[in-house]
Amino acid sequence: MTTTRLIVWRHGNTDWNAGHRVQGQTDVPLNDLGRQQAVDAAELLVRLRPDVLVSSDLVRASDTAAALAALTGLSPSYDKRLRERYFGQWQGLTMAEVAEQRPDEHARWTAGADVIGGDVETLDDLGERVADGLQAAADLVPAGGTVVVATHGAAARSGVGHLLGWPREQLRSLRALQNCHWVELSHDGSRGWQLAAYNVGPFSERPVPPPV
């Protein structure tokens, strides 16, 4: 049976990641650590012989994808649907500042519920948007091919969950995806999408807060 492989790859570290600052769709670049993480991860991902490379158009994802493009010769395509969750008025704040300034919204976020207020994108909208982008990327390869998608932490988790048809409660059982780690999904005609591996990467990191 022919199986298609989809690799959903989180971008490398940024200064805002390091400072626990909410990025959302703010276009924050990789830092030196993030650029090295992208190179290290690309040296593993190239062994999967990807056929197609797709990225969020935000620079921290596109520069991560560029590290793999340099090894494969693939030209990435870019899809706005793969952007991080839009965090509205949270963007630019540290999580400590969100908790202090917007305690009711922060409490709902911590509980895994939709944030009411602050113009934060709903989880259903996020999951549907990113899953559409992931499916479109997978459709670019023939059956049996491999596609790598460079995206973002919260986007990856919600998009993968939506693609798999998981309820929100099940999705919360997954820990945060580390910088430059990835999810591997497989697809065939009889079983549809299946989770093959989660939080795979070239190095170990200390646990981090949920990516934003």
pLDDT of residue 204: 47
Tens digits of residue pLDDT in 73-103? 999 999 999 999 999 999 999 999 999 999 9
Residue 186 β-bridge partners: 5, 194
Could you list the residues known to form a binding site for substrate, using ranges.
Answer: 10-17, 60
CA–CA dist 52, 40 (Å, integer)? 19
- pLDDT of res. 189: 86
Confidence of residue 212 (pLDDT cuts 50, 70, 90): low
Taking the CA atoms of the chain, what radius of gyration do you get in angstroms? 16
Q: Which residues contact 32 (CB under 8 A, 6 or more apart)?
A: none
Domain boundaries, the chain: 4-86+121-200
Which amino acid is it at 92? G
Q: Output the known binding site.
A: 10-17, 60
- Summarize the chain as % helix, strand, coil (round to 5): 40, 20, 40
Mean pLDDT, range 51-60, rounded to an integer: 98
Residues in the chain: 212
Confidence of residue 211 (pLDDT cuts 50, 70, 90): low
Q: Are 39 and 201 in contact (CB under 8 A)?
A: no
Name the pLDDT band for 1 (thresholds 50, 70, 90): low
Mean pLDDT, the chain, rounded, equals 94
What pLDDT digit, counting tens, does each position of 141-157 carry?
Answer: 988 999 999 999 999 99
**pTM exceeding 0.85:** yes
- What are the catalytic residues? 11, 84
All residues at 6 or more sequence positions from 58 whose CB lies less than 8 Å from its CB, including other chains: 11, 25, 27, 83, 84, 152
27 pLDDT more than 80:
yes
Top-level class of domain 4-86+121-200? alpha beta
Read off the pLDDT of residues 105-150 as tens digits, 9 standing for 90 and up: 999 999 999 999 999 999 999 999 999 999 999 999 988 999 999 9
